[in-house]
């Protein structure tokens, strides 16, 4: 993984480029339009900093330019012409399904084993089942937070989340430094 400093530089370069492309199109923007441009250009810039290597970055860019999106034209303007865009690594569509098929063959069939079930009065839920439910709920929440997370398995979800957090942290640091640099200096 690249250093946080180079990620910040890449994000800042992409963000400024996206803002310049939007500024040149319309001189008098309302505050709402400016807010939308800044947010969208920051999202696209943070995704472009990863050059489409990660699932979340491809999902962010795909969501920005998909048909029916009100900001599609704006996102395409921020991304620039298709000829200037970085090529993204293509992940085979059936890769996850293929991995699941192989893994499912390794699981032994339990139907061939005859087990005696002991019927007993229902007791409180086992601690392991409670933990599994909690982990499952938290995994679903995480999937909803990470762009493209709904299509990831557990391990890749964690890896993509860590990468996404690192880039978001770089984005926050760059925005904070810009905000602090633009504050007026008190000479009292």
Average pLDDT over residues 41-62: 88
* Residue 122 structure tokens: 């229902």
Question: Residue 90 pLDDT > 80, yes or no?
Answer: no
Question: Between the CA atoms of 172, 150, 94 and 64, what dihedral angle is there, to the nearest 10 degrees?
Answer: -50
Question: Residue 54 pLDDT > 80, yes or no?
Answer: yes
Give the integer Cα–Cα distance in Å for 155 and 167: 19
A 10 A CB-CB count for 157 gives 20
Structural contact between residues 39 and 21, judged by C-beta atoms closer than 8 angstroms: no
Question: Residue 122 pLDDT > 60, yes or no?
Answer: no
* pLDDT tens string 7-33: 888 888 888 888 888 776 667 878 888
* Residue 142 structure tokens: 């995480």
Structural domain includes residue 67: yes
**DSSP helix/strand/coil, 89:** coil
Question: Residue 157 pLDDT > 80, yes or no?
Answer: yes
The pLDDT, as a whole number, for residue 142 is: 93
Structural domain includes residue 95: no
Average pLDDT over residues 115-136: 72
- Give me the domain span that covers residue 29: 2-80+127-180
The pLDDT, as a whole number, for residue 61 is: 87
Distances (CA, A) of 185 to 2, 44, 100, 121, 188: 34, 32, 59, 73, 9
Give the model's confidence band at 134: pLDDT under 50 very low, under 70 low, under 90 confident, else very high.
very high
Question: Residue 111 pLDDT > 70, yes or no?
Answer: no
Average pLDDT over residues 64-93: 64
Average pLDDT over residues 173-181: 89
Q: Of the given ranges (67-71, 76-80, 116-120), which has the lowest mean pLDDT?
A: 116-120
**DSSP helix/strand/coil, 123:** coil
Structural domain includes residue 48: yes
Structural domain includes residue 90: no
The pLDDT, as a whole number, for residue 144 is: 93
Give the integer Cα–Cα distance in Å for 37 and 42: 8
Structural domain includes residue 94: no
Question: Residue 187 pLDDT > 80, yes or no?
Answer: no
Average pLDDT over residues 89-106: 41
Q: How many domains does the chain have?
A: 1
Distances (CA, A) of 51 to 45, 54, 57, 109, 160: 10, 8, 8, 43, 14
The pLDDT, as a whole number, for residue 158 is: 93
**DSSP helix/strand/coil, 140:** helix
């Amino acid at each position: 993984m690249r250093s946080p400093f180079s990620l910040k530089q890449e994000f800042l370069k992409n963000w400024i480029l996206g803002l310049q492309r939007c500024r040149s199109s319309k001189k008098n923007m309302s505050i709402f339009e400016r807010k939308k441009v800044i947010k969208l250009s920051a999202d696209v810039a943070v995704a472009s900093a990863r050059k489409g290597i990660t699932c979340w970055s491809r999902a962010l860019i795909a969501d920005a330019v998909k048909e029916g999106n009100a900001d599609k034209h704006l996102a395409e303007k921020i991304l620039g012409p298709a000829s200037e865009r970085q090529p993204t690594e293509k992940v085979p569509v059936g890769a996850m399904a293929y991995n699941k098929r192989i893994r499912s063959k390794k699981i032994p069939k339990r139907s061939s084993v005859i087990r005696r079930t002991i019927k007993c009065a229902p007791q409180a839920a086992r601690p392991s089942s409670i933990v599994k439910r909690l982990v499952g709920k938290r995994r679903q929440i995480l999937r909803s937070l990470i762009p493209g997370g709904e299509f990831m398995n557990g391990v890749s979800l964690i890896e993509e989340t860590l990468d996404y957090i690192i880039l978001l942290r770089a984005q926050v640091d760059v925005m904070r430094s810009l905000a602090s640099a633009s504050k007026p200096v008190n000479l009292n």
